[in-house]
Chain A
Amino acid sequence: MLPTVAPAARLSSRQWSRVPASLRPLAQSLRTSIVPVLPLQATVSRAAFSTFPKAAAAAGVSPNTKRALTAEKFPHLKRDESFKKLSEEDLAFFKSILPPSAVTQDEGDLDAYNNDWMLKYRGQSKLVLKPSTTDQVSKILKYCNDNRLAVVPQGGNTGLVGGGVPVFDEIILSTANMSNIRSFDPISGALVCDAGCILEVLDNYLAEQGYIMPLDLGAKGSCHIGGNVATNAGGLRLLRYGSLHGTVLGLEVVMPDGTILDNLSTLRKDNTGYDLKQLFIGSEGTLGIITGVSILTPKRSKAINVALLGLNSFDQVQAAFKRSKDELSEILSAFEFFDQGSINLVKQHLVAGANDPLESPHPFYVLIETSGSNKDHDDEKLGTFLEGLLTDEIVQDGVVAQDTTQLRNLWSIREGIPEALSKTGSVYKYDFSIPVPVFYSMVEDMKARLEKEGILGEDKEVKCVVGFGHIGDGNLHLNIAAKQYTDRITNLIEPFVYEWASKHAGSVSAEHGLGLMKAPFLHYSKSPTMIQLMKKLKDVMDPNGIMNPYKYLP
């Protein structure tokens, strides 16, 4: 069942109020087990994957037609013949160290692991291994390294750049069975857990203790913390709590030769030697497999407010951001932005029938979240700030969530954009770090470029170009929804957007990573000297190159 997301989420919260108070604790525990399926992008969960073609069908992709393999779409990619092909002996070995349920060979089951959730990449792996202990991972990698079998590590398979799915016949090593929380220190807030723990499960666990995960993203109901660290995921809380390079305290990593690198420190400060864990954060499974994560979690804020604002120009968005840093300062926890095209898609595909937060449409929208320890203090600050924006006509209209239902519904608009896009068509997703002053010009320039070709419009090849993202982090998500992926569209977008970002001193990947999609474009953001050093590091740590080949480095 693929829920019709936002209305269902709304109904469930409304229905919740019908639950007798006496039954609330019980019902709450049921809710927490249900809710992860509801929030928007979380529908892309492993459990929902078997029905995922429905979403694909909605996106105009027929699940029945054999979609092109990654290898066919990118003919310049050739299988590295130094890698061995999987044999019966290899299978026998894996079966000797893993229980039967942890070895998947069935073609139907493999589909969910070979395809990425956007149905953009399709690998040809014949084997998925789902170890449950670090020791098993070590044995698998040692064997693969000795026998030159290529491996692709996979978490929740929610990646956006094709980094977690195989290109050819790489063995998929899934962290799905590694889902234990190992320890939590309620004094320091240090959480140690297996790499396969689902982000939302961890967040719910911490909520019980009054803590919160320092990162949050739309795919929280499916993505694994190990995958988050391997991609250096950013998300919605980065503005407040910083990147994983700061919050990760230690990692346990299995090196390609099977060596276990135990660096699961819970120390906040540790200046002894090279900080090796940093190498693995954002390495996308090319240097080893992260099996354990130690992460510093902040206290969960008691008072949270959310406001959604409508603005007339991007200059006003910038003015509002600048002022929010002055006036909300330490309680500001999110400053998210989206354009009219984005909210229209969400309205069309996800929240049809729900109340419109704002009476009339606006070219730009901003979602502001504050988190603090004292509600009265925060309310007063936010109230004064918003009144100022309205009086000075920086903001034309806005709403403030009056209860948690409204708060969640406002967030679900922002978080629902990626899913609404996927229901619109085949989506070209880009994720740039761009200086805020030129942030939105990229979207406008892209629109102009496609309009000039006469292919942008409701019934044309490209349905829409939308921009949204994290203003607070200078991170723009440029998304282009097309009827289908075609070479013509691709060539109109790329390398144009990468050159654009490079010209404006931006980065071609702010938080999604490089994967298969952006490996060839690394040079737009990194110098040849840096790329050379990266290649040397890869050779030292993975001399046989078995880890996530064909990706990451050009």
Chain B
Amino acid sequence: MAGPADLRILVACKRVVDYAVKIRVNAAGTAVETNNLKHSMNPFDEIGAEQAILIKEAFAKSKKTVDVIAVSCGPAKAQETLRTALAMGADRAVHVETNDDLQPLAVAKVLKAIVEKEKPDIVILGKQAIDDDSNQTGQMLAGLLNWPQATFASKVELAEKAMTVTREVDGGIETIKTPLPAILTTDLRLNIPRYASLPNIMKAKKKPLEKIAIASLSIDVAPRIEILKVAEPAKRQGGKTVENVDELISKLKNEAKVL
């Protein structure tokens, strides 16, 4: 690419157990089993990657360039997730290698280090990851960087060095405007992610993917939260068919005790 891009976007992409997989708690009751399960990009991060590419495509129409960098922290397999982001249209990827399970604060610190290195104008994250549902990383990163944040975005419009974001809040929608650089976290209705096309999957294999050992960042990523117990909710009881109204009333009174 000739010269620096007009805009740079960093997209966080977490590798999680695919949403469709039926998860099970491990025998020790300490975590969810993840071995040998299908993994995919966190759906909210996928929306984030799509949004970055949509912005890139919109800028291209007015002859402006956008550099989209996908970043993921995790084991070697996280590179598959990054390749998906590259196949969708990201320009390059950064893999922060670790085999430890990072908590949101640790991820935010890692992202802060990457932000300081790459100097993006916008960092896009999913509002939460579907494995731990923390909904913290984006906010913590904003705090660490002392940047403005626009969370739960359902619509994004970019202007010169500013961004107007529509957010879904309780009881309605809220529209805010923030200067850049800023943090953006995505909600469901922001967009529908595209499919990775074959030509783009092939191109993605040749796009740069930088590997960074987490130790080289000299960050304290020790967990701050201890998980005491993970348990499945009580099994749902099956429905019953009743023969007549009398039986229904009797069951509502005596079994369900709602009458």
Contact surface of A with B, Cβ cutoff 8 Å: 10, 13-18, 20-26, 28-30, 99-101, 207, 302-304, 307-309, 354-355, 357-359, 375, 383, 386-387, 390, 395, 397-406, 408, 410
Contact = CB atoms under 8 A, between A and B. Distances in A.
Contacts of B40: 402-404
Contacts of A24: 23
Given A20-B133, A405-B43, A26 B233 contact: yes
Nearest to B188: A14
Contact of A358 (B18, B197, B201): B197
B30 to A, nearest CB: 15
Given A17-B130, A21-B130, A359 B197 contact: yes
Contacts of A18: 188
Given A22-B133, A22-B233, A403-B40, A357 B195 contact: yes
Nearest to A207: B22
Interface in B172-230: 188, 192-199, 201-202
B243 interface: yes
Top 10 nearest A-B pairs by Cβ distance?
A403-B40, A404-B20, A399-B195, A398-B198, A17-B43, A26-B233, A17-B130, A20-B133, A402-B84, A21-B133
B46 interface: yes
A179 to B, nearest CB: 11
A14 B43 contact: yes
Nearest to B129: A21
B233 A386 contact: no
B243 A99 contact: yes
A405 B19 contact: yes
A101 B243 contact: yes
A21 B131 contact: yes
B201 A400 contact: yes
Given A14-B188, A401-B195, A402-B87, 16 more contacts: A13-B19, A17-B42, A21-B130, A22-B133, A26-B233, A29-B236, A355-B192, A355-B195, A359-B197, A399-B198, A402-B40, A402-B41, A402-B196, A403-B18, A404-B20, A405-B19
A354 B18 CA distance: 21
A23 B233 contact: yes
5 contacts: A395-B198, A397-B199, A403-B40, A403-B41, A404-B40
Interface in B23-56: 23, 32, 36, 38, 40-44, 46
Contacts of B188: 14-15, 17-18
Given A99-B243, A357-B195, A402-B196, A17 B233 contact: no
Contact of A25 (B43, B44, B233, B243): B233
B236 A26 contact: yes
B232 interface: yes
Contacts of B196: 399-400, 402
Most A CB contacts (10 A, CB to CB) among B133, B232, B243 go to B133
Given A390-B198, A398-B198, A402-B84, A13 B130 contact: no
A302 B188 CA distance: 28
Nearest to B236: A29
Given A400-B198, A403-B18, A302 B36 contact: yes
Contacts of A29: 235-236
Interface residues of B, number: 37
B255 interface: no
Given A17-B43, A358-B197, A30 B130 contact: no
A281 B8 CA distance: 63
Contact of A404 (B38, B87, B243): B38
A552 B206 CA distance: 59
B195 A406 contact: yes
Most B CB contacts (10 A, CB to CB) among A14, A207, A303, A408 go to A14
B246 interface: no
A296 B202 CA distance: 40
Given A21-B130, A404-B38, A355 B236 contact: no
B170 interface: no
A404 to B, nearest CB: 4
A30 B36 CA distance: 25
A61 B118 CA distance: 62
B132 interface: yes
Contact of A10 (B23, B192, B199, B232): B192
A352 to B, nearest CB: 12
Given A17-B130, A303-B38, A404 B18 contact: yes
Contact of A28 (B22, B43, B84, B201): B22
B84 to A, nearest CB: 5
A354 B194 CA distance: 9
A410 B195 CA distance: 10
Nearest to B233: A26
A507 B44 CA distance: 49
Nearest to B88: A402
B188 to A, nearest CB: 5
Contacts of A401: 195
Nearest to A399: B195
Contacts of B19: 13, 16-17, 403-405
B199 A390 contact: yes
B43 A398 contact: no
Contacts of A15: 188
Contacts of B202: 387, 390
B23 A25 contact: yes
Contacts of B201: 383, 386, 400
B198 A397 contact: yes
B22 A399 contact: no
Nearest to B50: A355
A402 B198 CA distance: 12
A271 B90 CA distance: 60
A410 B19 CA distance: 16
A399 to B, nearest CB: 4
A270 B133 CA distance: 53
B236 A30 contact: yes
A406 B188 CA distance: 15
Nearest to A14: B188
Contacts of A10: 192
A17 B44 CA distance: 8
A18 B128 CA distance: 9
A405 B43 CA distance: 9
Most B CB contacts (10 A, CB to CB) among A302, A303, A309, A355 go to A355
Contacts of A400: 195-196, 198, 201
Contacts of B192: 10, 354-355
Contact of A386 (B133, B193, B198, B243): B198
A53 B54 CA distance: 41
A390 B42 CA distance: 29
Nearest to B130: A17
B152 to A, nearest CB: 11
Nearest to B239: A33
B38 to A, nearest CB: 7
B125 to A, nearest CB: 14
Nearest to A26: B233
Contacts of B130: 17, 21
A108 B252 CA distance: 29
Most A CB contacts (10 A, CB to CB) among B21, B23, B131, B197 go to B197
A537 B196 CA distance: 55
